[in-house]
Chains A and B, each alone.
Chain A
Amino acid sequence: MFKRLSSELTLIYAALFGVVLLLIAGAVWVAVEANSRQAVRAEMTSSSAVFDRIWKLRADQLQQTAEVLARDFGFREAVATGDDETMLSALDNIQSRFSFDTAMIIRPDGSVISLDDELTGPADPTLLAAVTANPDASGVLTLGSTTYQAVSAPVRAPTLIGWVVFGQRLGGEQLGELEQLSAIPLSAHLYLKRAGQQWSALEDRPGSAIGIAGEELAARAIETNGDILINMPERNSIGGVKTLQVFAEGASSAGLLLEYSLTMNQAHYRDMLATIAVIGAIGLAALVLGSWFVSRRVTGPISGLRAAADQLTRGEVAAVAVKGRNEIAELAANFNVMSSEIAAREQRILHLARHDQETGLPNLRALHEALAGLRKIAPPGNIFGAIISINRFDQIRGAIGHGLFSRLIAEIAKRSLNSGEGLHVGRATTGTIAVVFTAQSREAAEATIRATAQAVSRPVTLDGDRVDVMVTAGLACDAEDAKAHLELLERAEVAVEQARAQRKITAWFDPAAYGDPATTLSLMSSMVHGLSSGELFLAHQPKLDLRTEKISSAEALLRWRHPQRGMIRPDAFIGMAEETGHIRPLTDWVIDRAIADQRIFQKAGHDVTLSVNVSGRLIANEQFAERALRQIRRSGARLCFEITETAVIDNPKLALDVMNELKQAGIGISIDDYGSGLSSLSYLRAIPAEELKIDKVFVENLGNGNSDAFLVKSTIDLAHSLGMKLTAEGVETADVLAILRAMGADMIQGYFVAKPLAVNDFLAFMQSPDAKATSAI
């Protein structure tokens, strides 16, 4: 409802105060109202008593005067003798002496003698009846249009010979006098009711009319404790009614209404209420100001807290000044503690977000941030990224366990960091670390990474055990055309694979070799197309059996002559086919093709065992194996499956089962590229292979007088001891052939014998003297 607590508090206090004030005012008003009526009633009672006295005084004066006159001997004589002149002069005398308004003599015969000509003559029957009934009548008497307070006194001489009647006018003037005699401001009204008529006011004073019909007032009259009261809410007044004695009793009634205006009475109390209102207003103002200040004192620190909390919400460092020792100060202190704890926790979270939990090394995210930092200070051409991958990390990790492996990675990262200036080092994947850095040129960058690779390629001692570490590094430059849509480090990672493929320690990312993933799918689809259209074919490289000096087998190698791109190297699409799942149909096709080619050779009279390269991913694929067996059994072909030593075998146990099944079906198993990996002896023994093909790297070096000779010799011995034949690939010279022959190799393969040959060329080669010549060596 309120944006500010202080406003709310102020309003609440003000409202409470207002309510209290209203209650006080209401109580005062109620008390005033009651008090006012009480007071008015009391005042009216006393005023009424005063009026009684006045009324009686006047009546007594009239009465005494009338009696004095009525007893005057001379007057009586005049009345008795009918001496009108004397009577009138006596009346005149009395009237002027006492200021009576009217005076008359009524004779028993009903005739009236008066100075007032209107009264002279026959008496009003009511008047005569009144004095007859009561010679000492006294009260309100209306004669004609004038109302009097009148008295009568009998004239006896000694018998009754008449009545003297004196009257004082009753009217506005007299009522006014009465009003002035009262202690309280009253207005007096005379009401009359004559026989057969209704109550009506004697209204002869302008502006003093009550305006309520006499009958209506009479109906409102209530008698309480002997007082007759009339409520006149329309005039905000109350009236006290006094019944007046009438001259002619029974014939008429008269009442005096003393009206008391509550407005005037309440005016005093209004002053009081006004005073209360003024005090209240001042109090309210003081309260509003006071509560405002107080609430400001309270809410000021709260506002500070709120601002600080907002800051905290925005992730800024927030602290509140702690003043005093009250609850809010405590709250502020707590807030500060909380704020700093949040900051610390945030730091921890940030650290966790940027660091590898296992090793505590910066993670890829941190490296990307470092990279972003570098991009601000250096052009893309000077920013480089490298991935340093531990060779055969799976085996190492399996050997030493995860815990030690983490320490190994940490150690390698530490060495990397120390190997050069300005390197940002972090863990990229389980077995790789990443380095981002700036360098003046590609050459400088490569030198840096070479140094790093060298630095880390030293044995690491963990808990007393030495672990030999070999790494492969991939390099990428930030400026390189990112056609591959790969990030810098992703390109570096690809470069690692490329380095491995090239058997190099370091390699730059080769976008051409990587290929454009955008064209990958089209490449695959055109490959599938090429399988049926004849673009893909097998080239067979003859293998020379050194025992028989004959060509009795060949390795079937896949070739793709693309109509636009020309010859496509197997590296460019076989890996891709493995990744995309096309390796299965491709290998199926190769097997079918090899069977078909073998039949061609057979028909030409050449009995040649063909070796087919099978991906490690496929060897454990039962559907593949079933199909291959079915095809081979049906055709009766003699095939050998070459499996690379380092091939990733998805399910080694299943793979061994499959290989055993293949072997029983008469399909030979050959371990390809032996020496490029670190296969354990038990692994070698488990595989039911009949042929071990030593990696050509070792063979090529034999001719250079290198010391790999021992390795080759021991490998040959190893093969023989495991019951396998040893084939040496990459034989290009006669010297090497001679060495190998001397070492006891079983077969050779290489350019020295023949390059891979298409079917027709292979047939031609088998017919040519070369084949025989080779065997002659």
Chain B
Amino acid sequence: MLGRFLTYAATSFLFATQAWAGDIVIRVTTPDGKPLPDAVVLMPAKPGGPKPAPIDGLKMAQAGKQFTPFVLIAPVGSTVEFPNLDKFRHHVYSFSKGNKFELELYGREEKRVITFKTTGVAALGCNIHDQMVAFIRVVDTPWAAKSGDDGVARLTAAPDGSQRIDVWHPYATAKDQTVTQTITVSPGATTVTVVLGIAPPS
């Protein structure tokens, strides 16, 4: 899925800008140097800049009393399916501003679809299972990527020059759980390491 998203990102970039640029490789680590997965790296949208195209068919499944994936990047206007793979019911909700929804008790194999129309973070929970937490990052920029298990996220075809990038993680201790960094993008690959303090809820 990640691969697909990245393909999409690159494609959309292709259509949005004329100038070709390089890739940005962002290595996200915790302060003790461990790779941090599930961090969202994005280059904030600029007025008049290219917009990402909504995607249908994004999935936030519930399996084993957990949401999968933990963090999902969704371009604004995308629809996300919530398939229930468990044998019991879930009651998925989000009280996040602009992306408030509630999927009342639904059982196995039932699939509900929600369209996320507002840029920001939608924190997902299950009213039945407290431990079920997931986040959907609704973005309005074509350059957004999530770090993998190795903590590396790639932004391809990023415009040259000085660029701001935001690194967000739901449990980051920084303000708005976001660390912002300005980098100079040059043709070819630019590698950046971003350190994020993490405080998972007890």
Q: List residues of chain A with CB under 8 Å of any chain B CB.
A: 71, 73, 76-77, 80-81, 135, 156-161
Task: Say how far A155's CB is from chain B's closest CB, in angstroms.
Answer: 11
B18 part of interface (Cβ distance < 8 Å):
no
CA distance A38 to B126 in the complex (A): 57
> Among A73, A135, A160, which residue has its beta carbon within 8 angstroms of that of B127?
A73
Residues of A contacting B132 with CB < 8 Å? Answer: 158
Residues of A within 8 A of B125 (CB): 156-158
Q: Which of B97, B123, B127, B202 contacts A159 (CB 8 A)?
A: B123
Main secondary structure of the interface of B (DSSP, over half): loop
**Residue in chain B with minimal CB distance to A161:** B95
| Contacts known (A71-B130, A157-B123, A158-B123); A76 close to B95, Cβ less than 8 A | yes
Residues in A with CB closer than 8 Å to B126 are 158
Neighbouring B residues of A161 by C-beta, 8 Å: 95
B52: min CB distance to chain A, Å: 25
Q: Contacts of B170 on A, CB cut-off 8 Å?
A: 159
Proximity string of chain B (5-48) to chain A, C-beta cutoff 8 Å, 1 when within and 0 when not: 00000000000000000000000000000000000000000000
- Minimum distance in angstroms from A137 CB to a CB of chain B: 13
Instruction: Report how far A161 CA is from B95 CA in the complex, Å.
Output: 10
Q: For residue A157, which residue of chain B has the nearest CB?
A: B95
A80 to B202 CA separation, bound complex (whole angstroms)? 19
Let me know if B124 is at the binding interface, CB within 8 A. Answer: yes
12 A-B Cβ contacts within 8 A? A81-B97, A135-B202, A156-B125, A157-B123, A157-B125, A158-B125, A158-B130, A159-B123, A159-B133, A159-B170, A160-B201, A161-B95
Q: Is the CB of A77 within 8 A of B95?
A: yes
A175 to chain B minimum Cβ distance, whole angstroms, is 34
Check: B108 CB closer than 8 A to any chain A CB: no
Q: Which residues of A contact B93 (CB under 8 A)?
A: 73, 77, 157
Q: Is B100 an interface residue (CB 8 A)?
A: yes
Q: Which residues on the A side are within 8 Å of B127 (C-beta)? A: 73
User: Which residues of chain B are within 8 angstroms of A77 by Cβ–Cβ distance?
Assistant: 93, 95
Q: Are B201 and A159 in contact (CB under 8 A)?
A: yes
Q: How far is the CB of A44 from the nearest CB of chain B, in Å?
A: 37
B125 to chain A, nearest CB (A): 3
A159-B134 Cα distance, complex, nearest whole Å: 9
**B interface with A by C-beta (< 8 Å):** 93, 95-97, 100, 123-127, 130, 132-133, 170, 201-202
Give Cα A135 to B199, complex, Å: 14
In the assembled complex, the Cα of A75 lies from the Cα of B107 at a distance in Å of: 25
| Bound Cα distance A135, B170 (Å) | 19
Q: Which of chain B's residues have a CB closer than 8 A to the CB of A156?
A: 125, 130, 201
> How far apart are A219's CB and chain B's nearest CB, in angstroms?
39
Asked whether A81 lies within 8 Å of B201 as measured between CB atoms, the reply is: no
User: What's the least CB distance linking B99 to chain A, in Å?
Assistant: 12
- Within the assembled complex, what's the spacing in Å between the Cα atoms of A157 and B124? 8
List the B side residues contacting A81 at CB < 8 Å: 95, 97, 100
Closest to B131 in A: A158
Contact of B133 among A71, A135, A158 (CB under 8 A): A158
- Closest chain B residue to A82 by CB distance? B97
- Can you add 11 more A-B contacts, CB < 8 Å, to A71-B130, A158-B126, A161-B95? A156-B125, A156-B130, A156-B201, A157-B93, A157-B123, A157-B125, A158-B123, A158-B130, A159-B123, A159-B133, A159-B170
- Known A-B contacts A73-B93, A81-B100; the reply to A158 vs B202 at CB < 8 A is no
Cβ–Cβ < 8 Å partners of A157 in chain B: 93, 95, 123, 125
Q: How distant is the Cα of A71 from the Cα of B93 in the complex, in angstroms?
A: 13
Residue of A nearest to B125 (CB): A158
A138 to chain B, nearest CB (A): 15
- Measured between beta carbons, the chain A residues less than 8 angstroms from B123 are 157-159
Complex alpha-carbon distance, A600 and B151, angstroms: 198
Which residues on the B side are within 8 Å of A71 (C-beta)? 130
Which residue, of B124, B125, B132, has the highest number of chain A Cβ atoms within 10 A?
B125
Q: State in angstroms the CA–CA spacing of A77 and B97 once bound together.
A: 11
Min Cβ gap B103→A in Å is: 13
CB of A109 to closest CB in B, whole Å: 12
**Complex CA distance for A156 and B132, rounded to whole angstroms:** 11
Indicate the member of B96, B124, B127 with the most A CB atoms within 10 Å. B127
Q: CA separation between A158 and B96, bound complex, in Å?
A: 10
How many angstroms between the C-alpha atoms of A100 and B157 in the bound complex? 60
- Select from chain A the residue with minimum beta-carbon distance to B126: A158
Complex CA distance for A135 and B93, rounded to whole angstroms: 23
CB distance from B130 to the nearest CB of A (A): 7
Among residues of B, the one whose C-beta sits closest to the C-beta of A73 is: B127
Q: How far is the CB of A77 from chain B (nearest CB, A)?
A: 6
Cα–Cα, bound, A626→B175 (Å): 171
- Complex Cα spacing A81 to B170, Å: 19
Complex Cα distance, B131 from A458, in Å, reads: 169
A775 to chain B, nearest CB (A): 193
For the complex, give the distance between the alpha carbons of A156 and B131 in Å.
Answer: 10
**Shortest Cβ gap from A122 to chain B (Å):** 19
| Closest Cβ–Cβ distance, residue A105 to chain B (whole Å) | 15
Expressed in whole angstroms, the minimum distance between the Cβ of B38 and any Cβ of chain A is 14
A159 contacts across to B, CB distance below 8 A: 123, 133, 170, 201
Q: How far is the CB of B51 from chain A (nearest CB, A)?
A: 28
Q: Which B-chain residue is minimally distant from A159 (CB atoms)?
A: B123
Chain A residue at minimum C-beta to C-beta distance from B97: A81
Residues of A within 8 A of B100 (CB): 81
Residues of chain A lying within 8 A (CB to CB) of residue B97: 81
Nearest-Cβ distance from residue A79 to partner chain B, whole angstroms: 8
Q: What residue in chain B is nearest A158 (Cβ atoms)? A: B125
Asked if A80 meets B95 with Cβ closer than 8 Å, knowing A158-B123, A158-B133, A159-B133, the reply is yes
Find the A residue at minimum CB distance from B67. Answer: A158
A81-B97 Cα distance, complex, nearest whole Å: 7
Task: State in angstroms the CA–CA spacing of A160 and B95 once bound together.
Answer: 12
Q: With A and B bound together, what is the CA distance between A76 and B96 in angstroms?
A: 12
Tell me the complex Cα distance, A71–B128, Å. 10
Measured CB to CB, the closest approach of chain A to B90, in angstroms, equals: 13
CB distance from B87 to the nearest CB of A (A): 22
CA distance A76 to B97 in the complex (A): 14
Complex: chain B residue closest to A134, CB-CB: B202
